Amino acid sequence: MIIEAETILIGLGHLLKGDLGISYYIIEALALEGLEKKAKLVFLAEETEKLDVFLFKKKEAIIIVPAVLNLKPGKILCWDYDDFLKRYPLVSHIQPYKKIYDSFYLLKLIDALPKDITIISISVEQTRKAIISIKAIKAARKVINIVKRKILEENIGKVSRIYSVKDLISAKNLVF
């Protein structure tokens, strides 16, 4: 008998568009730290039309959304469900948020919305290259710790590493 995790962590973005793909590396880093034992880890890329399927009747959902938000790159915004609904008019023109809103609306209609929802937005710069900036990597480390605190409900003292120190010291941007 397979028991589904009650918590799901979903990363959105585009892996080949630089910082917009940072949620993939966050999901990967959390998997390497063993978080898949506590939560289902999913990278949907830009396939946000499947979002409601993954959120259906979960107890807790964390959605990581890298987006061009006209904020300082690397800025992190954390919203719960109510905060998201209040701020939605400000971000409704940004594609991932539109689909998130639509999925929430549908799931609420059928009483299948997760009880605890956290949306973590990372402000990024749009690039046409598969380059992750240092600002995005620093933001990713913070997001990893936010997620670990939320899922594991413990104090995380040390900053998680996504890449080796040599990689970070030797390059301003990492190319994948």
Structure pTM?
0.83
- Please report the pLDDT score of residue 17 as a whole number: 81
- Please report the pLDDT score of residue 126 as a whole number: 79
Tell me: the pLDDT tens digits for 123-157? 998 777 778 888 999 999 999 999 999 988 754 44
Tell me: the pLDDT tens digits for 93-118? 998 999 999 999 999 999 999 999 99
Kindly report the backbone phi and psi dihedral angles of residue 125, in degrees, each rounded to the nearest multiple of 5, phi listed first.
-95, 140
pLDDT band at 80 (very low <50, low <70, confident <90, very high): very high
Domains of the chain, first to last: 7-175 (3.40.50.1450)
Average pLDDT, stretch 48-74? Answer: 92
Residue that has been written with the tokens 């639509």 in this structure = 102
Cα Dmax for the chain: 51
Tell me: the pLDDT tens digits for 83-92? 999 999 999 9
Contact 100, 63 (CB under 8 A): yes
Contact 53, 106 (CB under 8 A): no
